[in-house]
Structure 1
Amino acid sequence: CERLANHVKVNLQENRFPIVISGDHSSALGTISGVKAAFPTKRVGVVWIDAHADIHSPYSSPSGNIHGMPLAAALSNDNLDFEVNDVSRDTADLWERMKNISIPGTKIIADDLVYFGVRDTEEPEDAQIKKLGIKNYMVDEIRFRGLETCVNEAIERLSGCDVIYVSFDVDSMDCDLVSYGTGTPVPKGFDQYEVIKIINQFTATKKVVCVEFVEVNPLLDFKGNKMAETAFEILEAITKKIEEFNLDK
């Protein structure tokens, strides 16, 4: 994460647009930290397109998996109200280091985080999301109210942000429709065309400075390499818009 944060920071400082392609979603902490390090005085908005909330801490996580903790680290929030683990001193020290990667302290605030498609959570995460007032645009809500309407509402929620980072986890897509080629597949998600529309609508604000794609796992894909192919289809579609809107800046 430290190396990734530095690469993201340097690319942004050199007026480039970093597109991060990663495996484990824990990388997002490095990416967010790099964005904040590049813009230390600016508010960073986060659009989190994912089946999972990834807002656990070592104190609340039933699995202890780091890929479920990047947002808690970016928020510098331990969720001690739902502490279930007796965390060792070494783990606590490493957690503090994670929260201070690249630039010390909180990287984002809860008001500047918006979820899209989160539908597989645990009780400590649900409580934290409610406590912090984080909006989750669920798949059914988006299809009922209209995608454009929901994204416009989210853009308004992030209107106080100077820059925006978009994180796309492929498990936000419907595993039955697209592919099971990801570590934690979840049904009843988006299709690739909805994901493209969501990202492109945010890109049109000209505030998006970095996009990340995560959690493709070809070893779990029984449709050949369908998940990776779909992810690259999305990447190709959004890259065209990124180039278009950045040329217009």
Structure 2
Amino acid sequence: MENIQILEIRSELGAGTRGASLGIGAMKVASLKMNDTYFAHYPLHLVPNENEILFRPSSTTRHAKHIKGILKVYNYVADAMEQLLTEGTQFLTILSGDHSSAGASIAGLRKSYPDKRLGVIWVDAHADLHTPYTTPSGNVHGMPLAASLGFDNLDMRQNNLSPELNVYWEQLKRVGEISPKIYPEDLVFIGLRDTEKEENFLIDQHKIKVFEVAEVQEKGALRIAEESLHYLQNCDIIYVSFDVDSMDCELVSEGTGTPVPNGLTPEEARQLLCRFAQEDRLKCMEVTEVNPLLDNKRNLMAETAFSILRSVTDTVEKRLRSQATD
């Protein structure tokens, strides 16, 4: 179905450990193991990456490592998404290496729908609300939401930025020529359980909606999905970012850059995402942070992620076919 297309982003510049760029290939291997024709069935578009930067001397922008290359990737992604979505693609699946690319996905959606209010559902163990001013690591995969929200978080400032980094950070926030791209009241976290004080400050200050794992377990995944969609009822379009570290690493595997225990079960993740896939407002879903080099159970994380992705896509396809026959 050409109204469902795949965007492949192999960038891993934002990660602290290497191997996230191999995650998409690992999911393709998982599909072969399952005798699934998913990757032959849907048009796939490969976005250029700047991973060769990793082989050069260390980044001089230590509070946002490799941000110059990441900025290029953001523009590649935003331009590719705008082309696909304005040409009529109804649903875009994004498979990415590290989670910094999610900021590019949000930029691409805003560029494609400049007059629409965008809601974001962030299924993740981490808030990714750091900025170059607050980051303890300099890894940009911890910053995509802050960039999308246009936050600097100077109240919790820990770092001083060089003039060079300040220019790149401002450019990153403004990719797509819209900033901020989303607002705190249009953001929902699900599965959040590994945050830092600088991120918690923003969550509390802006009263950002958070569904913790315990609440998912208590109410059930489907009810949390319904409550999330209701919370975003004033949004015209919705984007879901699914970081596989939202799942319990002890139940699945450690095949992701920052595994965290006590997370969602694979079935809870599947139920959440498939319910979101039934929603007409959902335009894009991203699956990110599979890292087969870190997988302690062979390729189980990629197999789990692919199985969930297949269920989600089947749900979207059923929805679109139903709309076509109405």
CA distance in 1 between partners of 2:170 and 2:271 (Å): 37
**1:60 Cα deviation after fit:** 1.1
Residue 218 of structure 2 is matched in structure 1 by 144
The residue correspondences of 1:3-152 to structure 2 (distance < 5 A) are 3-16=76-89, 17-152=91-226
Structure 1 residues 127-182: Cα deviation after superposition (integer angstroms, max 9, x where no partner): 11111111111111111122222221111110000000010000000001101000
Letter in 1 for 2:195: T
CA distance in 2 between partners of 1:81 and 1:248 (Å): 49
Percent of aligned pairs with the same amino acid = 46
CA distance in 1 between partners of 2:292 and 2:255 (Å): 5
Structure 1 residues 55-77: Cα deviation after superposition (integer angstroms, max 9, x where no partner): 11111111111000000000001
Letter in 1 for 2:79: N
- When structure 1 is superposed on structure 2, of 211-220 and 148-157 the one drifting more is 148-157
Report if the CA contact (8 A) 1:36-1:103 is conserved: no
CA distance in 2 between partners of 1:58 and 1:242 (Å): 37
Task: Describe the SS at the equivalent of 2:94.
Answer: strand
Report if the CA contact (8 A) 2:190-2:213 is conserved: yes
**1:79 Cα deviation after fit:** 0.8
- Over aligned residues, Cα RMSD in angstroms? 1.0
- When structure 1 is superposed on structure 2, of 103-112 and 41-50 the one drifting more is 103-112
**1:199 Cα deviation after fit:** 1.1
Task: Describe the SS at the equivalent of 2:253.
Answer: coil
Residue 191 of structure 1 is matched in structure 2 by 265
Letter in 2 for 1:134: I
TM-score, structure 2 as length reference = 0.75
- Note if 1:207 corresponds to 2:281: yes
Structure 1 residues 178-210: Cα deviation after superposition (integer angstroms, max 9, x where no partner): 010000000001111111111121222211000
Structure 1 residue ranges (4+ consecutive) displaced by more than 4 angstroms after TM superposition: none
Report if the CA contact (8 A) 2:126-2:194 is conserved: yes
- When structure 1 is superposed on structure 2, of 164-173 and 2-11 the one drifting more is 2-11
Aligned match for 1:181, one of 233, 255, 264: 255
Task: Describe the SS at the equivalent of 1:90.
Answer: helix
Report if the CA contact (8 A) 2:224-2:272 is conserved: no
Aligned match for 1:158, one of 212, 232, 235: 232
Report if the CA contact (8 A) 2:110-2:178 is conserved: no
TM-score, structure 1 as length reference = 0.98
CA distance in 2 between partners of 1:123 and 1:96 (Å): 23
In the alignment, structure 1 segments of 5+ residues that lack a partner are none
Q: How many residues align?
A: 249
Report if the CA contact (8 A) 2:221-2:269 is conserved: no
Letter in 1 for 2:77: L
Residue 307 of structure 2 is matched in structure 1 by 233
